[in-house]
């Protein structure tokens, strides 16, 4: 499965730096990923929903670490490119 598009919507809301939508093989999209500023740098949070007990459950997530790494790499690269474009303006 190949990442064919990543769309970034920048945000400045505390630790939340952007929302992202990612498309696989030009035929399947996952919306609502988040780029978060953590204690050790940026990371990608999968789309989630809040449970009645106040915890969050991922709605969509990769099964293995290789796919997680591919997704995170694609989203963070797109985020950094979007930031660079914003700074250039």
- According to CATH, what is the number of the domain 3-49+56-88? 3.30.1120.40
pTM of the model: 0.88
Q: What is the pLDDT along the chain (89 residues), one digit of tens a residue?
A: 899 999 999 998 899 999 999 999 999 999 999 999 999 999 999 999 999 999 999 999 999 999 999 999 999 999 999 988 766 55
Strand partners, 41: 38
Q: Please report, for the chain, the start and end positions of each structural domain, with discontinuous segments joined by +.
A: 3-49+56-88
Measure CA 61 to chain center.
11
CA dihedral of 26, 41, 79, 46, whole degrees rounded to 10: 40
Task: Judge whether 17 and 28 are in contact, CB under 8 Å.
Answer: no
């Amino acid at each position: 499965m190949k990442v064919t598009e990543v769309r970034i919507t920048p945000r400045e809301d505390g630790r939340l730096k952007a929302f992202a939508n990612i498309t696989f093989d030009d035929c399947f999209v996952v919306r609502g990923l988040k780029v978060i500023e953590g204690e050790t740098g940026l990371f990608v949070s999968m789309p989630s929903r809040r449970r009645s007990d106040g915890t969050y459950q991922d709605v969509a997530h990769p099964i293995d670490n290789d796919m997680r790494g591919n997704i995170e790499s694609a989203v963070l690269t797109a985020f950094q490119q979007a930031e660079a474009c914003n700074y250039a303006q």
